[in-house]
Amino acid sequence: MKVLLAKKGKLFVITAPSGTGKTAIIDIIRKKVEGIGYSVSHTTRPPRRGEVNGVHYCFVAREDFEKMIEAHEFVEWAIVYDHLYGTPVSSVDSTLSSGRDLLLDLDIQGAQEIKKQFPEATLIFILPPSLKILHERLQRRSAQDDTNTGLRMEKAVEEIRKCRDYDFLIVNDDLKKAAREVEAVIIAQRARTERRFP
């Protein structure tokens, strides 16, 4: 019997509360894992220090984002801390149809919407080592971008309560170890039987 690789790529969604180290983990995965694309989300929020337009996010004016919503250019979009975030349809379609896997960096709302549209998507939730450590990280971030630590902490606790809806939970108490665990999930999911026999 001939074993074939599936023609369509697989979706991997990573979600984490703010301050959990999700962006750093994704950066490692993007450099280390072969054959995986990354969908750069659009957002109306201003760039943070060190963020590059088109690499971390596509930073757009609210008016332009709203036009994109009207034109159905997003596979999902959400409002987070009064800013709009969205995943472009074009990026998802072109990557998956080329046979490459795709990594999405989404909040809970976005992940839920993706799971509705792509039930086969793998959802990965990154947890902080503890709420105390998360609070310390959020205080440092608030000092950098004038955000409300209390508000972010409330949202983080709310998000953590929903982590049972995810396929995999990974605790980021060590960045390299957490990235290795995400990589292991991707490798294991790629080897699943249904991906070998069309």
- pLDDT tens per residue across span 109-164: 899 999 999 999 999 999 999 999 888 888 876 655 556 778 888 889 999 999 99
Question: Which pTM does this prediction carry?
Answer: 0.85
Instruction: Give the C-alpha separation, 130 to 101, whole Å.
Output: 31
State whether the Cα torsion 51-52-57-60 is positive or negative.
Answer: positive
Helix (H) or strand (E) holding 80: strand 74-80
The neighbour count for residue 169, using CB atoms within 10 Å, is 14
With respect to residue 30, please indicate whether it lies within any of the assigned structural domains: yes
Cβ-contact 20, 127 below 8 angstroms: yes
With respect to residue 3, please indicate whether it lies within any of the assigned structural domains: no
* Position 48 pLDDT exceeds 80: yes
Residue 85, domain CATH: 3.40.50.300
Instruction: For the chain, give the percent of residues with pLDDT over 90.
Output: 67
The whole domain housing 72 covers: 11-191
What is the average per-residue pLDDT within 35-58?
A: 92
Bridge-partner residues for 169, per DSSP? 125
With respect to residue 79, please indicate whether it lies within any of the assigned structural domains: yes
Determine the residue type at 56: H
Cβ-contact 34, 100 below 8 angstroms: no
Bridge-partner residues for 166, per DSSP? none
With respect to residue 71, please indicate whether it lies within any of the assigned structural domains: yes
Number of domains in the chain: 1
With respect to residue 197, please indicate whether it lies within any of the assigned structural domains: no
Mean pLDDT of the chain: 89
With respect to residue 150, please indicate whether it lies within any of the assigned structural domains: yes
